[in-house]
């Protein structure tokens, strides 16, 4: 009964198998292997985009920092939510990689950027003293488990376009957002004006690795050099790419996310009947926040359940996260423990 995070979960067996399958043969290094090419080919199909380019990197922080550094000059302003991972959980990696850009944080309920606040925050174009409006960064699904609807995304990217902003999407849980909204990856990204997506894999059953999906091929050439300078160009790239090709092939990425979301829905439904637990909002994907009476939390933990407190959201708030391999039996066990507590 571990609901602490989706990165405490292991790896989808198909990905481990993909790695084992190529272990007995030498393959070209630095991304010259056929699996790296296959990842790009599969992304072109998944995103219905013939020219997109993909770069594999080790971590979400690295991917966000690289993507944003290519989109933003050192004197640029990046508009993002005040609870966004890039603002609060990346130790200024974006600012470092971009040579000094400024994160301009914007509020909004459930960690969604409020369009009016975004409009009000964009200021100073052409004023030499002021950070220059450059980039909009949106997390989809976001840090509070909320998914922007396509209409909400479209409103934000339209504001960005009015002001000449480029658009980055932190998709550490992009698959959960797609599974939740049941829309196409193209409709959620480049058709709305997203320039670079970080297509997360680690939290959805990958061994490691995130895919930087660049919808602007010119920018991809620059990203290649930035990745090398950041020390993120793997010489044995196949150790990332062979499992990731298996992850993308036959839509395993979507199947994994659908399962995680379904487990979250079951958990949320069951929690509605539990005294001492109150969801802050229904989960859009695989994570939910709730107030939980401390005595209930203590009993659940004493019985072996694992989950984290989330005091930055509020007193007695905890977070529950499901993963690609969460078992229905664990959801039921958690709920019956809670009911009996
Ligand atoms: C919204 C979001 N972006 C990015 C990341 C990636 O972080 P890491 O650098 O740990 O892979 C995470 C992980 O928690 C996240 O929740």
Please, which pLDDT band fits residue 341 given cuts at 50, 70 and 90? confident
Q: What is the mean pLDDT of residues 285-307?
A: 96
What is the structure's pLDDT at 62?
97
Residue percentage of the chain with pLDDT more than 70? 100
Please, which pLDDT band fits residue 317 given cuts at 50, 70 and 90? very high
Spacing of C-alpha 331 from chain mean position = 24
What is the structure's pLDDT at 132?
98
Pick the CATH number of 253-340 from 3.40.50.300, 3.90.1150.10, 3.10.20.600, 3.20.20.70: 3.90.1150.10
Ligand 1 pocket check: which of 172, 177, 210 to mutate, most ligand atoms within 8 Å of Cβ?
Answer: 172
What is the structure's pLDDT at 143?
96
Q: What is the dihedral of CA 335, 257, 204, 105, to 10 degrees?
A: -90
**C-beta 6 within 6 A of ligand 1:** no
Sequence spans of domains, the chain: 13-251, 253-340
CATH class of 13-251: alpha beta
pLDDT in tens, 131-153: 999 999 999 999 999 999 999 99
pLDDT in tens, 177-202: 999 999 999 999 999 999 999 999 99
Task: Report yes or no: 313 and 146 within 8 Å, Cβ to Cβ.
Answer: no
**C-beta 95 within 6 A of ligand 1:** no
What is the structure's pLDDT at 38?
98
**C-beta 170 within 6 A of ligand 1:** yes
Query: How remote is the CA of residue 145 from the centroid of ligand 1, in Å?
Result: 13
Ligand 1 pocket check: which of 146, 200, 230 to mutate, most ligand atoms within 8 Å of Cβ?
Answer: 200
**Which is the closest atom of ligand 1 to the Cα of 59?**
11
Q: 26-37 in b/e burial notation, b at 16+ Cβ within 10 A? A: ebeeebebebbe
Peptide bond into 339 cis (omega under 30): no
Query: How remote is the CA of residue 1 from the centroid of ligand 1, in Å?
Result: 22
Cα–Cα distance for residue pair 175/182, rounded to 1 Å: 10
What is the structure's pLDDT at 232?
96
Query: How remote is the CA of residue 337 from the centroid of ligand 1, in Å?
Result: 31
Query: How remote is the CA of residue 273 from the centroid of ligand 1, in Å?
Result: 32
What is the structure's pLDDT at 73?
97
**C-beta 143 within 6 A of ligand 1:** yes
Query: How remote is the CA of residue 120 from the centroid of ligand 1, in Å?
Result: 28
Cα–Cα distance for residue pair 341/300, rounded to 1 Å: 8
**C-beta 61 within 6 A of ligand 1:** yes
**Which is the closest atom of ligand 1 to the Cα of 62?**
9
Please, which pLDDT band fits residue 258 given cuts at 50, 70 and 90? very high
Query: How remote is the CA of residue 61 from the centroid of ligand 1, in Å?
Result: 6
What is the structure's pLDDT at 115?
98
**Which is the closest atom of ligand 1 to the Cα of 64?**
4
pLDDT in tens, 35-58: 999 999 999 999 999 999 999 999
Supply the residue whose CA is at minimum distance from atom 7 of ligand 1.
Answer: 60
Task: Report yes or no: 171 and 257 within 8 Å, Cβ to Cβ.
Answer: no
Query: How remote is the CA of residue 95 from the centroid of ligand 1, in Å?
Result: 16
Supply the residue whose CA is at minimum distance from atom 4 of ligand 1.
Answer: 60
Q: What is the mean pLDDT of residues 240-256?
A: 97
Secondary structure (3-state) at 174: helix
What is the structure's pLDDT at 1?
86
Query: How remote is the CA of residue 177 from the centroid of ligand 1, in Å?
Result: 15
Please, which pLDDT band fits residue 213 given cuts at 50, 70 and 90? very high
Cβ contacts of residue 283 below 8 Å, gap of 6+?
Answer: 145, 261, 264, 265, 268
Query: How remote is the CA of residue 212 from the centroid of ligand 1, in Å?
Result: 13
């Amino acid at each position: 009964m571990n609901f602490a995070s989706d990165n405490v979960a292991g790896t989808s067996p198909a990905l481990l198998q993909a790695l084992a399958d190529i272990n007995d043969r030498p393959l070209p290094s630095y991304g010259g292997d056929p699996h790296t090419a296959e990842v790009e080919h599969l992304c072109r199909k998944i995103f219905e985009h013939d020219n997109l380019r993909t770069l594999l990197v080790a971590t979400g922080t690295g991917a966000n920092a690289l993507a944003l550094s290519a989109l933003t000059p050192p004197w640029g302003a990046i508009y993002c939510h005040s609870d966004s991972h890039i603002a609060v959980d990346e130790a200024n990696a974006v600012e470092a990689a971009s040579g000094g850009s400024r994160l301009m944080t914007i509020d909004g309920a459930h960690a969604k950027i409020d369009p009016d606040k975004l409009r009000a925050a964009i200021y100073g174009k052409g004023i030499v003293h002021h950070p220059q409006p450059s980039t909009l960064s949106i997390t989809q699904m976001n840090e509070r488990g909320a998914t922007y609807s396509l209409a909400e995304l479209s409103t934000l990217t339209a504001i960005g376009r009015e002001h000449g902003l480029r658009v980055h999407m932190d998709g550490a849980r992009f698959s959960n957002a797609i599974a939740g909204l049941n829309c196409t990856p193209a409709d959620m990204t480049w058709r709305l004006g997203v320039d670079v997506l970080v297509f997360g894999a680690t939290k959805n059953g990958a061994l490691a690795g995130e895919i930087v999906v660049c919808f602007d091929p010119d920018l991809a050439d620059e990203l290649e050099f930035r990745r090398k300078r950041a020390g993120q160009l793997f010489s044995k790239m196949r150790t990332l790419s062979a499992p990731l090709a298996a992850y993308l092939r036959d839509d395993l990425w979507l199947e994994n996310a659908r399962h995680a979301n379904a487990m979250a829905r079951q958990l949320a439904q069951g929690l509605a009947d539990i005294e001492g637990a109150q969801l802050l909002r229904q989960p859009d994907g695989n994570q939910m926040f709730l107030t939980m009476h401390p005595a209930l939390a203590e009993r659940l933990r004493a019985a072996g359940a694992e989950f984290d407190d989330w005091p930055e959201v509020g007193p007695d708030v905890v977070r529950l996260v499901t993963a690609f391999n969460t078992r229905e039996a664990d959801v039921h066990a958690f709920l019956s423990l809670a009911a009996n507590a």
